[in-house]
Structure 1
Amino acid sequence: MITKRTDNFDIDQICVSGQCFRMERTAGGTYSVIAGDRYVEVAQEEDRCTFYCGAEEFEAFWRDYFDLSNDYGAYIESIDTKDEYLRKAAEVGSGIRILRQDLWEMTASFLISQQNNITRIRKCISNICEKYGEKKEALSGSTYYAFPRPEALAELGEDDLKECNLGYRSKYVVRTARSITSGEADLDYIRSLPYPEAKAELLKLYGIGEKVADCICLFALHELDAFPVDTHISQALKRHYRRGFPKRRYNGYRGVMQQYIFYYELNGKP
């Protein structure tokens, strides 16, 4: 295990921030995190975080995954002092960081997220991982399931994932898996593109609209200018930013502000 002191990092806030669906609080008070085919447990006491993995794995993967090298305090300090709403949202959600997640996993996950709630999304993803993902063993001896590769889903019938409670979203995931395995969609190519071009390519995939494309850009490609607008964000913008959100002020990290607003609306408001 490895222990780090980190400002602006709160594993519980990240867990319920709506950007990841395979992180959960365990009975022992730690948090289990599955990313692709990797697994780690994290415990936190104030700014002291313990990652139950080796130092080499932490440096090779988990440091970047949790975006620990980025200065989120600077983002918060840059908020307009006159914007009381955003300053409060950032204060409440100051431990949120934008995770660097796998592009395929986020594409499938946010296809599943449409017209869905977080609890149900987690269950749907858990179902497809247990049915189609590779069974693996953590260092602790516990078992978990890797996120299924596109090849594992591409040969399914379009309605087969309804058995995993995906409903009409089944065809979205299956058709996208087929596009990737056939070469029609090239994830490596999408990763190489700047934000606007990457979003345009994602919009070509079946079932992906503006909000989902922006979620994938923000949470998988780490394009921090992506600003997904769902119902909660739309309502917050109408209440607090009648002339529009000041995106120009936060150029380069608008998505961080979006996460503060999203978390505040769902979890942090008194």
Structure 2
Amino acid sequence: MITVELDNFSLREICRSGQCFRMHETAENNTYELVAGDKYLKISQAGSIVNFYCSDVEFICYWVPYFDIDSDYGRYIEKVNPRDTYLSAAVQCGNGIRILRQDLWEMIITFLISQQNNISRIRSCIERLCVRYGEKLKAGDTEYYSFPTPQQLSVATEEELRRLGMGYRARYIVETTRSILAGEVSLEKLYQMKYYRRARKELMKLSGVGEKVADCICLFALHHMDAFPIDTHIRQVLDEHYRRGFPNRRYHGMRGIMQQYIFYYELIGERGKI
């Protein structure tokens, strides 16, 4: 077990922030389980003290970058305009959120599934996909399924995916898997792209990937912090609070973080009422 003290870090807020769908709270108080790719993690928190139940090597090599632990989110929070009462309230509500560095392939399929879907249903769809096409693995006494690779998912037909509850998104998953395996869009090259807009444009070559989905992938997998996904919630906020446009210049290089504070506030906080 690795124990660290972290500021601006909340497992509860990260779990409920709508960027990862294979993390859930257990029966143990403030304890969570997470599956990312083929990795499993048990993690708990008491105040600012966070316990990672894994090896030193796995913590340093995988979970530190995954949770963006080395970044100072207090620096981002300090940049918020104090006269912007709406954004200040959103940040106060979700100041423990981190932008996760998740697997690119997993995020492509995840956010294809997320379209016109709620968080609960996204979770169940992804879990069924992993059970059907992923690999059954074990961590101690815990059994879990890895997220299927492009090769593993290549055997899936549109009909099978529809039976798993993917609906119209089944065609996108089949066609996108074929595009990746055929090299029409390269995951490796996407990782190497330094510029957000170039990566976004490349992702939109994939079946079913529009601007919002591409922005989600850029933010939650490629860590392009200027990506600013706009869904119904965010559009309503922009229309109500930022009629002259969101202050992009002030938040250059961190727009995606501000988007997550807003999204969480609308979904979970005082505004969300859920």
When the two structures are superposed, what TM-score results if normalisation uses the length of structure 2? 0.97
Query: Which residue of 2 is the match for residue 100 of structure 1?
Result: 101
Amino acid of the residue matched to residue 165 of structure 2? N
| Aligned partner of residue 159 in structure 1, secondary structure | helix
Query: Which residue of 1 is the match for residue 74 of structure 2?
Result: 73
Query: Which residue of 1 is the match for residue 46 of structure 2?
Result: 45
Alpha-carbon contact 1:226-1:255 (below 8 Å) kept: yes
| Aligned partner of residue 143 in structure 1, secondary structure | strand
> Mean alpha-carbon deviation: is it higher for 147-156 or for 199-208?
147-156
Query: Which residue of 1 is the match for residue 9 of structure 2?
Result: 9
Query: Which residue of 2 is the match for residue 150 of structure 1?
Result: 150
Query: Which residue of 2 is the match for residue 126 of structure 1?
Result: 127
Partner Cα distance (1:60, 1:266) in 2:
32
Alpha-carbon contact 1:90-1:260 (below 8 Å) kept: yes
1:159 Cα deviation from its structure 2 partner: 2.5
**Deviations 1:95-135 (CA, angstroms, capped at 9, x unpaired):** 00000000000000000000000000000000000010000
> Mean alpha-carbon deviation: is it higher for 249-258 or for 182-191?
182-191
Query: Which residue of 2 is the match for residue 261 of structure 1?
Result: 262
Query: Which residue of 1 is the match for residue 216 of structure 2?
Result: 215
Task: Extract unaligned runs of 5+ from structure 1.
Answer: none
**Deviations 1:150-172 (CA, angstroms, capped at 9, x unpaired):** 11122322232112111111111
| Aligned partner of residue 268 in structure 1, secondary structure | coil
**Deviations 1:58-77 (CA, angstroms, capped at 9, x unpaired):** 00110110000001001011
Query: Which residue of 2 is the match for residue 198 of structure 1?
Result: 199
Partner Cα distance (1:223, 1:268) in 2:
25
Alpha-carbon contact 1:124-1:166 (below 8 Å) kept: yes
Q: Superposition RMSD on alpha carbons, in Å?
A: 0.8
Amino acid of the residue matched to residue 268 of structure 1? G
Alpha-carbon contact 1:13-1:96 (below 8 Å) kept: yes
Alpha-carbon contact 1:136-1:146 (below 8 Å) kept: yes
1:211 Cα deviation from its structure 2 partner: 0.2
Partner Cα distance (2:63, 2:202) in 1:
28
1:183 aligns with 2:186: no
Partner Cα distance (1:26, 1:202) in 2:
35
Residue identity (%): 56
Partner Cα distance (1:158, 1:24) in 2:
29
Task: Extract unaligned runs of 5+ from structure 2.
Answer: none
Alpha-carbon contact 1:211-1:230 (below 8 Å) kept: yes
